[in-house]
Amino acid sequence: MENLSFSIPNISCGHCVMAIENGLSEINGVSSVKGDAAGKTIVVAWDLPATPDEIKAKLDEIGYPAAG
């Protein structure tokens, strides 16, 4: 299992974190998503078949693109 940390500049509240957690948990291979609204970050634990590109694409799709 691998972990990725993402900076998400437009997280502003717990609702944003919940939307991201719900959206990313739909990806096959993502086992957990933990968000921090104050730090504007998320940490995703994942295995194959999920990929970092798929996770980033889902973040874009749900309106919370990762910085960088």
Q: For domain 2-61, give the CATH number.
A: 3.30.70.100
Could you tell me what percent of the chain has a pLDDT over 70? 99
User: 34 is written with which tokens?
Assistant: 């933990």
39 phi, psi to nearest 5 deg: -90, -5
Domain boundaries, the chain: 2-61
> pTM value?
0.90
pLDDT at 22 over 90: yes
